[in-house]
Amino acid sequence: MNKTVLVTGASRGIGLAIAKKYADQGFNVAFTYVAENRKINETVEKVKGDNDVKVIAYQLNVTSVEQCEEVLAKIYEEFGTIDVLVNNAGITKDMLSLKMKNEDFFSVVNTNLGGTFNISQLVVKKMMRAKTGSIINISSVIGSTGNAGQVNYAASKAGIIAMTKSYAKEYGKKNVRFNAIAPGFIETDMTNELPDSLKENILANVALNRFGQPEEVANVAYFLGSDESSFVNGQTIVVDGMMI
């Protein structure tokens, strides 16, 4: 029987590449998006491709515990189990801290860190009972380095690394693994909006002398969800081409 992955925020960017990777490897895929106007049927078809797998998209704001409960109930009814969870949904609201509003701090922390907690809490209970599962949280290199203009984002991504290690310590005995991925600069909508001068500065500090592609993060996300990584737990894998 096919295994099932749930990927949050997979309507585009890194999440979409992860959902596609798992479908290509024979997983059934449940994925989420938040915006009203997404042409989501096209995205479902893109993820499915020619694979003989089930792919269903669910609209979900990960900051709402109520919505998380409702959507998770639907996913379990449709798919039976979730074998791999990828907490990928995330946002930025960049601003130097002097000018950052409370609401911009908390909306980023509540989405990136709070959303990861909201979904993990619901999924880990079932994985614990099944005595198997892998949860992958998408952090960022900024969670270790910090970044001017990203007090909110950096705090949320550092929190994800610490949260991942703590969950890993709690659930290791139940054979549920938690790992994080810390991407560097990956070409998606999130980074496309940055000014060219900033992009040039960042590029000058990447040893591989190029930006990453969503598929290069997806390959690592697949490794961490597969049995190939069966003794990897509580780790953060950096995927940044070596930022120096």
Among the listed ranges 56-64, 117-125, 126-134, 169-177, the one in contact with ligand NAP (CB under 6 A) is 56-64
Q: Give the contact letters, 17-36, x = binds to ligand NAP (CB under 6 A), - = no.
A: ---------------xxxx-
**How many residues bind to ligand NAP according to rule CB under 6 A?**
33
Give the nearest distance from C-beta 52 to ligand NAP in angstroms: 25
* 128 vs 202 by CB, closer to ligand NAP: 202
Catalytic residue among 22, 33, 58, 153: 153
Segment near ligand NAP (CB under 6 A); pick from 5-13, 77-85, 117-125, 198-206: 5-13
Q: Clarify whether 153 is annotated catalytic.
A: yes
Task: In angstroms, give the least distance from the CB of 32 to ligand NAP.
Answer: 6
> Which of 61, 121, 205, 235 lies at the binding interface for ligand NAP (CB under 6 A)?
61
Distance CA 24, CA 221 (A): 13
Chain residues 179-238 in contact with ligand NAP, contact rule CB under 6 A? 183, 185-186, 188-191
By the rule CB under 6 A, 14 interacts with ligand NAP: yes
Question: Which residue has 């980074």 as its token pair?
Answer: 191
Residue with smaller CB distance to ligand NAP, 133 or 183 = 183
Binding stretches for ligand NAP (CB under 6 A)? 8-15, 32-35, 38, 60-63, 88-91, 111-112, 115, 138, 140, 183, 185-186, 188-191
